Homo-oligomer: A and B are copies of this chain.
Amino acid sequence: MSKTYSISELANEFDVTTRSIRFYEDQELLRPARRGQTRIYSSKDRVRLKLTLRGKRLGLSLAEIRELFSLWDETRSGSEKQLHLMLSKIQERRAALEQQMKDITMVQLELESAEIRCRQALEELHQKQEEEAP
């Protein structure tokens, strides 16, 4: 018997609303089991949710995330044509991620330089204060 989770347990752990979790299921990102009408989440479901939120932090739409999931799922069962299509989709995503890495690096540099400017401005303010009250 591996561990299971209620919807609110997951909602608390990952700091999202139950509404969102149910919505992700509606979008076919999750497929929890049921006991009666109550949803029961396995640790696999939990991983899916984690991956979903990770994708969101990268700015992916739910549709794009779903596509990645089905890519992964069909890796085992695909035909040759399918597999080649998957490979190209995977390449596409990897290229986008590399672009994002570059973007992040650039923005980090800009923020760093903004921080330096900020600290310099602060120093100048403090020097003026010393001049006013010697």
Q: A-side interface residues toward B, CB under 8 Å?
A: 51, 54-60, 71-72, 75-76, 78, 80, 83-84, 86-87, 90, 93-94, 97, 99-101, 103-104, 106-108, 110-112, 114-115, 117-119, 121-122, 125
Contacts and interface: CB of A to CB of B under 8 A. Distances in A.
A95 to B, nearest CB: 10
Prevailing SS type, chain A contact patch: helix
Contacts of A99: 57
Q: Copies per complex?
A: 2
Nearest to A121: B83
A78 B121 contact: yes
Contacts of A115: 87, 90
B86 A97 contact: no
